Structure 1
Amino acid sequence: MEFHLKEEGMRIDLDYGQLDISSNDEYGFRPFQLMVASIAGCSASVFRKILSKQRTEIADMTITAEVERNEQEANRIERIDLHYVIKGYNLDDEKLYKNLALARKNCSMVRSVEDSIHIEETLESVELSS
């Protein structure tokens, strides 16, 4: 990965597009947003892969992230609460939670920060009619 300095932050050109990073959200994504997005995105993609392998029929998944930061320590991320809303058919909450725990164990981003950021995951299921 190669990052380039720009007037208000950094830029990286990736295969799928350009990413601007800045402490000012008028000029790019803020670093903490990218950190949270990486954790939520990794967790969700591993979770989805597990559900797919188990043939759990998911129509939609949304994740809400609440972030707690510590202003006394350079606005460090201390806690991320991820809340999943799973919409699908024949959903079993106990099975969903077991699979979410398995996803957590296999998500490289969560594992990378687990000793420094408290991550709490909750979910709710919405049963769709056929």
Structure 2
Amino acid sequence: MKLVMKENGLRTELEYGVLDISGNEEYGFRPYQLMVASIAGCSGSVFRKILEKQRTEIDDMQITAEVERNPEEANRIEKITLNFKVQGKNLDPAKLQKNLEISRKNCSMVRSVEGSIQIEEKIETIELSN
């Protein structure tokens, strides 16, 4: 990955498109936003793959991330709580929770920050009627 310095941040061109990174939201994504999005995106993707392999059908999944930062230590990310909201029919909350725990062990982004950022995952199921 090649990053090029711009007036208000950095830019990289990737296969999918251009990514601008800046400490100022007016000029690009802030580094902490990319970190949180990487962790949530990886966790959600791995979770979805596990559900597909087990033939667990879901209609929708949304992830929200709550971030705790420490202003005393350069605004360091201390904790990320990932809230998974899964909608579908005939959902087994215990099985979904177990699959979420498996996904945590297989998500490279979560594993990369173990020991430095506390990652907590919660799941809410919304049962749709037939």
TM-score by length of 2: 0.99
Q: Which residue of 2 aligns with 1:27?
A: 27
Number of residue-to-residue matches in the alignment:
130
Structure 2 unaligned regions, length at least 5: none
Aligned AA (1:47): F
The offset of 1:128, in angstroms, is 1.1
- Map Cα deviations across residues 97-126 of structure 1 (whole Å, 9 max, x no partner): 000000000000000001100000001001
Q: Which residue of 2 aligns with 1:94?
A: 94
Helix, strand or coil at the partner of 1:38: helix
Aligned AA (1:34): L
Helix, strand or coil at the partner of 1:19: strand
Aligned AA (2:49): K
Aligned AA (1:57): E
Helix, strand or coil at the partner of 1:95: helix
Structure 1 unaligned regions, length at least 5: none
The offset of 1:89, in angstroms, is 1.4
Helix, strand or coil at the partner of 1:58: coil
CA distance in 2 between counterparts of 1:120 and 1:79 reads: 8
Helix, strand or coil at the partner of 2:11: strand
**Counterparts of 1:1-130 in structure 2 under 5 Å?**
1-130=1-130
Identity of aligned pairs, percent?
69
Aligned AA (1:110): V
Aligned AA (2:31): P
- Map Cα deviations across residues 36-75 of structure 1 (whole Å, 9 max, x no partner): 0000000000000000110111110000100000001000
Aligned-CA RMSD value? 0.5
Helix, strand or coil at the partner of 1:40: helix
